[in-house]
Amino acid sequence: MKLVYKGVLKSENQLPLGQLPENAVMFKEPTSMDALAGALLKPVVALSVLVILFYIAISLWRHWDSPLEMWGLFSLPSLLGLALFIPAMIVHEFLHAIWFGKRHVVELYVSLNFFMVVCVEPISKARFIWLSLFPNIVLGWLPLVAWAFMPFHPVFSNALFVFAMLATVCGVGDYYNVYNAAKQMPKGSMQQLSGMNSYWFMP
């Protein structure tokens, strides 16, 4: 895998186009950045609520009784989790990129709101689902589980939860890709990106 930095993404027209086979079928998904942002708004809110409910449930289960313990989400140590999450956004994209083929060129774009890696080479359905989920497992889900079972610490615990919460919720675009792939791609099909949209085809 060769990672190439492509600079600031100002428009989806900057994204590379893949050489699609004639039988390629575009995913049923938004065709612009603005439309995608609108489609993801409700899932972001719903996932945020679920993570907060998880926070409350674990706090009560672990009998963390003081306000600092139960409501550490609103304490100063949570800023540490936020600070750690910002560079982790780059790590998130790198964890996507490593699952493309060894000879594939993967392009990295940045914008005011996100980082994005793009590769226009075809990959299997299973690999596409796995590479979409992998950064969220490593940076979001596993830290959430670790937070739930670790001994409480007023600084580290709160920082870890905020970091894990942001890493989990900000993966909503990846979950959307997984949902589309699982629902729309037949068994044995291949996924390929062109522009900002995914396509599937039978090899």
pLDDT tens-digit map of 31-85? 888 898 899 999 999 999 999 889 888 877 876 555 445 555 566 778 888 899 9
Determine the pLDDT at residue 172: 95
Q: What is the rounded average pLDDT for all residues in the chain?
A: 89
Indicate the domain borders of the chain.
2-6+41-201
3 bridge partner residues: 106
Residue 118's φ and ψ, nearest 5 degrees, are -135, 135
Q: Which residue has the higher pLDDT, 192 or 33?
A: 192
Q: How far apart are CA 178 and CA 131, in angstroms?
A: 10
pTM: 0.89
**Looking at the predicted structure, is the pLDDT value of residue 156 above 90?**
no
Overall average pLDDT of the 139-153 stretch:
91
Q: What is the DSSP string of 29-41?
A: S-SSHHHHHHHHH
